[in-house]
Structure 1
């Protein structure tokens, strides 16, 4: 019996399918969800969502959000999410460079702008790391 997995970002549905297991970067740590899991609501950390179906794995970056787990469904409402296979590493590198340059300009650490730049830097680093690490492991 599979579990339904839906990953939704602010602008689109990223993934929907019936799967065997979903692994989430929850607030309390990495969390595996199988069919008939107890209901849970958790916030998500910046990290990787792994979805396994019939032995095949797909990976998605997630930059915050929440996940609702029901016995027959996992719903991820992400601040930002994308399939690792779709990551444009050149664009992510450019975003990282822009964020680093803005931080070097001396934005005050107690400002909303500083927090936004830090979040952009974390997201671009996550995207780059995921693309390099997970795409390489799929080729092996």
Structure 2
């Protein structure tokens, strides 16, 4: 992901680069203690340059950081399972609406107002369907 200078401040671009670098380290190191050690080294590298006052130097450091990240990127980025493009993304399919109709009456009794309104809306929906699609 390349930064868009017009949309983000320099600070936001550096923060984005830092986050991408840490995520890249997560992909390279699967053992937590090794990852944390490498993350601390990465943080030290960022902290070393945080007091640079010259804007041109800061821009050049940012460009070099993105270039280094590009060259050292992992070939298979680790993604959390439930995030988009993760291995378990949208695997928990929500149950269909009609499944609630098969609840036991004792279960329905726990939510009387919901099921009263639900029955009313079902009757309205059936009436609307008959108006639209009946052949009379």
Which of the five TM-score ranges fits, normalised by the shorter chain?
under 0.3
Q: Which has the larger radius of gyration?
A: 2
Compare the two structures and name the one with the higher strand fraction.
1
Compare the two structures and name the one with the higher helix fraction.
2
The TM-score with structure 1 as length reference comes to: 0.22
